[in-house]
Chain A
Amino acid sequence: MEALFSMTTGVLAACGLFLALRGRTFPVVVGLTLLSYAVNLFLFSMGGLTTAGAVVIEEHGGDYADPLPQALVLTAIVIGFAMTAFSVILAMRARGDLGSDHVNGNRLDEPREESS
């Protein structure tokens, strides 16, 4: 189970990064969102993978799922949404002002391939 979980985060992170390296804003935003899923899953798993754990405190106690990574990830999800929103609207603004949706802010829709 651990191996499968790790593999999933790995694949999601790889796909997210691949998209984040693209030259147009929309795939980059999608890539960042994908990457944030991977990161959230990764962070969440730092508390271990608990199957059928107790989530609220009960009288008889039980095997609790680690609440700390959950609290961290919960806010991370909301902040991640704010970040996605900000970057996508920045991308729209860039397109409106520069006429291009290239991440480097090139004017006139001319792709500027880096000289590497």
Chain B
Amino acid sequence: MPLLLIVLLPLLGGLLPIMSSNERRGACAAVAAAPVLIALAVALHHAGAVLDGEVFRQAYSWIPALGLDLAMRLDGLSLLFVLLILGIGLLIIVYARYYLLASDNAPRFYAFLLLFMAAMLGIVMADNLLLLWFFWELTSLSSFLLIGYWYHQSDARKGARMALTVTGAGGLALLAGLLLLGHIVGSYDLQVVLDSRDMIQADPRYLPALLLVLLGAFTKSAQFPFQFWLPHAMAAPTPVSAFLHSATMVKAGVFLLARMHPALAGSPEWLYLVGLTGLVTLLYGAYFALLKYDLKGVLANSTISHLGLITLLLGLDNDMATVAALFHILNHAIFKAALFMTAGIIDHETGTRDIRKLQGLWRVMPLTAAVAIIAGAAMAGVPYFNGFLSKEMLLAESLDTQLLGGLAWLIPALVTLGSLLSAAYAVRLVYNVFFHGPTPELPKTPHAPPKLMIAPGLLLAALCLVIGILPAPSVTALLTAASDAALTGGAPELHLAVWHGLNLPLLMSAVALFGGVALYWQRRHLFAFQRQFGARDARLLFEASVQGLVHGTQRVIDALENGSLQRYMLWLVITILCLVGGTLLGATELRGPLPLQPLDGLLIAGAGIAIFAGLATAILHRRRLISLLMLSIVGLMTSLAFARFSAPDLALTQLAVEVVTMILLMLALFFLPQRTPKESGAPRILRDVLMASAFGGIVASLNFAVLTRPLESISHFFIDNSVPGGGGHNVVNVILVDFRGFDTLGEITVLCIAAVGIYKLLNRLRLFMPSSDAEGRPWSRDRHPLILISVSQTILPLALLVSIFIFLRGHNAPGGGFIAGLVTAVALILLYIAHGVDWCQRRMSFQYQPIAVAGVGVATLTGLGSWVFGYPFLTSSFGHFHIPLIGDIELATALLFDLGVYLTVVGATLMILANLGKLTTAHRPSKQKEKEKA
């Protein structure tokens, strides 16, 4: 049976509650529980073999190029966690059915819960480092949704954001660490990594990789100094806390430590980093758990403390300590889930979680009290409860460690202190709430909870007792299988028993228990001591740092992005100057090995005119018309340059485009101010001139450097294949319509889109129309000069004929769709200029938009046509045909494609220019008119 099913069932099952109704809570909980139950059954189906030492591994290739496989494994360690996640998850589903208020959205809750469950299962079953990380991030995201479930409360939102920030940042560190590990080992396959311990630890990248992985684990498991997010995550509904902070979310961190233990542990770095972090967290959490007044606050800090305990055990780095860690993971999950559930019941039934207000509750809720007493005793480490066993193992192992070298005696002393504090807060939690006098006035009159609400707690309490009294038969097999996976040398022989005889650990246990009770008795001294310190709210600090970050970033953005396009342009140029200039600085010599070609007079004259005109365009820019005329000279010289350097296609195109560009800019200038006001001061001009000169210098140097170096072109392919493959002798045209036809299709589409965009911009545009030029001279009345009218009419048929000629010969001689289209467009525009819009409108009453669109359509259909014959998109074919009177001609489907190009160019150009021209007349584009027409 596929292992993936265990993850997929909750993942897809999360959709079921969404489809059920919020009113029928029972049904909603039932459909949420169903996939979990089935997944549990699948897991149990494999359990027998796993306990016998088998490791199931199944992989599907996902993104092999990245080394990411959908690989699942089920070994003892996975099984332990799978059972915890699914088992406790199931109880939480039942519990939440009664916990959620009528105003809460239960389907949403269950959907998030199942999503989170799936993510957790993914972490513990992943057999690929990247996949593990993927699920790791998914738990961060889904826990964000769960913690922020009551999103109308500011606490919940802030708590969720804090948890996401801390665990998300840790997740990124983890990714970096896992990538490093993958690079060291050369594979992301978990088994390969686990088997490469020596290779990893000998690598210089071991320490950074270890640090990054630990950062991920410590943030997730709320280890000091990242513990602060966990108490604030208590703003979540209690079932969420019970699930996230007992069996799942925070356990992901310690799971990762256990999972990577065979590969990463065994070094002094691991011993100190993991061991000391665990120790500090253990004491920190225990101390603050004792001081909190909020029930869930106590439990949150106690969770931190117990996670510290587990981390410490994993850090101690000997086999029995690792077994103890796994055992405590199991025990802690059971008793902490039960305690959270009782805290939720108390909150639900009394309306408060404040320990100062609660007392004597055992009378009204005896079953709840029983669960709390049993789970509390387990937490305190009382014999015959499960917590006792793992704590005893910790005490025993702490006596036998190399941590801190000569000061190693500190470890058992501090661990005993931690246990003492743990006993004290457990006593306080249970005794203050359930005993300690009569039941007081409470926000709600307390009742016993519904039977099914307390049932999950009872079940967990019973488990505490079963494991506590009969450890050997109940958990030995599971623990052995789990530690087998977490240890390189296999699991040690396990002899779990309550009674090991009178020894030092037992004495330490006794000291912790009785010391704890004594500390509870005298706790007012501790409270008085703590009051001397100012209260520091981690959330305020966190919020302040987040706000600081936001403001700092805002300042940087404001400095860079002040709304001035000129400034952005400047930054862009500076970046180019730095990047390209830097590269040029690195070159040893600007001039390459190629000999220079000789100069001639014509070239010098042409370049001189271009340079002169370019400079004049810039210098005279405030007199716009003159500047524009100078620009057109540059355009003409560019066109001549193309002709001079053997590119007739380019020369023709440039010439035609030059004409339409000039007409366009002249038209635009009519609507814009004729002069540019003097705005820039001398420093500004100097700055821009310097910038521009530097830019020009770099462009020139780069160009020269390229031109004097030998060229390795791929063009010989096109030259060789143009005739046999494309059936055309004009290589440029064959490249456009055949080899790179797809690019051309994209380009004419862009052209068409630009034209449509312009059409929309012109729509209902109302501009001031000057009646005179800049000098105040009125525009001439003679709008349509007679000579131009006659010439343009005469030229039109000729121009159209020429454009057809250019179009048809394009495949074999300079020409083609682009040039032909431009020539046609120029001829038509000349007609507009000569006769005016009214005259043309009467004779050409069609719109140009459909022509442009039809062009793109024809080109696309030509491309699609090759599909009909079973060839890839835009495959062309050609053949020779004999037509009477005309003779042999060669026809290619590329010609059809070129027709599309031709139509698009004609349509788009006229769409732009004719519509712009119409602005001066009654034919201006407007919505009003379109409606009238319709």
Contact = CB atoms under 8 A, between A and B. Distances in A.
A91 B916 CA distance: 13
Contacts of B688: 18, 21-22
Contacts of A82: 750-751, 754-755, 908, 912
A18 B707 contact: no
B676 A14 contact: no
A88 to B, nearest CB: 5
Contacts of B740: 71
Contacts of B598: 1
A73 B624 contact: no
A3 B596 CA distance: 8
B621 A19 contact: yes
Contacts of A108: none
Contact of B664 (A20, A46, A85, A112): A85
Interface string A74-97: 110111111111101111110110
B574 to A, nearest CB: 11
B567 A114 contact: yes
Given A22-B621, A68-B735, A92-B767, A74 B818 contact: yes
B618 A19 contact: yes
Interface in B371-410: none
Contacts of B321: none
A12 B692 CA distance: 10
Interface string B82-106: 0000000000000000000000000
Contact of B653 (A42, A78, A111): A78
Contacts of A24: 673, 676-677, 679
Given A2-B596, A10-B697, A92-B767, A15 B604 contact: no
Interface string B659-681: 01100110011011100110110
A20 B731 CA distance: 35
B233 interface: no
Nearest to B730: A56
Interface in B749-768: 750-751, 754-755, 757-758, 761-762, 765-767
A86 B757 contact: yes
A30 B621 contact: yes
B703 A6 contact: yes
Contacts of A91: 668, 672
A75 B744 contact: yes
Contacts of A78: 653, 657, 747, 751, 818, 822, 905
B599 interface: yes
Interface stretch (B414-422, B482-490, B630-638): B630-638
B850 interface: no
B607 interface: yes
A56 to B, nearest CB: 4
Contact of A88 (B668, B677, B679): B668
Contact of B692 (A14, A73, A81): A14
A90 B660 CA distance: 18
A57 B661 contact: no
A17 B676 contact: no
A96 B765 contact: yes
Nearest to A48: B711
A58 B635 CA distance: 31
A10 B703 contact: yes
Interface string A37-59: 11011101111111111111110
Q: Is the interface of B mostly helix, strand, loop or mixed?
A: helix
B603 A1 contact: yes
Contacts of A48: 707, 711
Contacts of A51: 597, 644-646
Contact of B647 (A12, A16, A44): A44
Contact of B650 (A11, A30, A73, A84): A73
Question: Which of B708, B719, B729 lies at the interface centre, i.e. has the most chain A CB atoms within 10 A of its CB?
Answer: B719
B618 A13 contact: no
B774 interface: no
Interface stretch (B167-175, B557-565, B830-838, B868-876): B557-565
A82 B748 CA distance: 10
Given A79-B751, A101-B673, A8 B611 contact: yes
Q: Which of B628, B731, B822 has the most A CB atoms < 10 Å from its CB?
A: B731
B565 A11 contact: no
A103 B565 contact: yes
B627 interface: yes
Contacts of A114: 562, 564, 566-567
Nearest to B598: A1
Contacts of A77: 650, 653-654, 657
B732 A71 contact: yes
Contacts of B627: 27, 30
A66 B715 contact: yes
B679 to A, nearest CB: 5
Given A56-B730, A83-B754, A89-B668, A14 B696 contact: yes
Give the most central of B622, B644, B657: most A CB within 10 Å. B657
A30 B747 CA distance: 23
A27 B699 CA distance: 21
Contacts of A55: 646-649, 730-732, 814
Nearest to B693: A14
B416 to A, nearest CB: 66
A65 B646 contact: yes
Interface in B33-80: none
B718 A10 contact: no
A47 B694 CA distance: 25
Contacts of B622: 27
Contact of A57 (B635, B689, B731): B731
Contacts of B645: 44-45, 49-51, 53, 65
Contacts of A8: 607, 610-611, 614, 641
B761 A93 contact: yes
B647 A85 contact: no
Interface string B687-724: 01101110111011111101110010111001100110
B617 A30 contact: yes
A1 B264 CA distance: 65
Contacts of B599: 1, 4
Contacts of B570: 21
A68 B660 CA distance: 25
A50 B617 contact: no
B566 A23 contact: yes
Given A44-B645, A93-B761, A11 B603 contact: no
B618 A18 contact: yes
Contacts of B676: 22, 24, 26-27
Given A15-B614, A113-B679, A75 B665 contact: no
Contacts of A21: 566, 569-570, 573, 688, 691-692
A14 B699 CA distance: 9
Contact of A37 (B621, B638, B731, B767): B638
Contacts of B664: 84-85, 88
A31 B680 CA distance: 16
Contacts of A9: 699-700, 703
A95 B704 contact: no
B650 A70 contact: yes
A101 to B, nearest CB: 6
A113 B683 CA distance: 12
B638 to A, nearest CB: 5
B498 interface: no
A48 to B, nearest CB: 5
B754 A85 contact: yes
Contacts of A10: 696-697, 699-701, 703
20 contacts: A1-B596, A8-B614, A13-B700, A24-B673, A24-B679, A41-B641, A46-B706, A56-B730, A68-B715, A74-B732, A78-B818, A79-B750, A81-B661, A81-B909, A82-B755, A85-B661, A90-B761, A91-B668, A104-B563, A114-B562
Closest 3 CB pairs of A and B: A14-B696, A10-B700, A53-B646
Given A8-B614, A67-B735, 6 more contacts: A8-B610, A27-B676, A33-B631, A81-B660, A86-B757, A89-B668
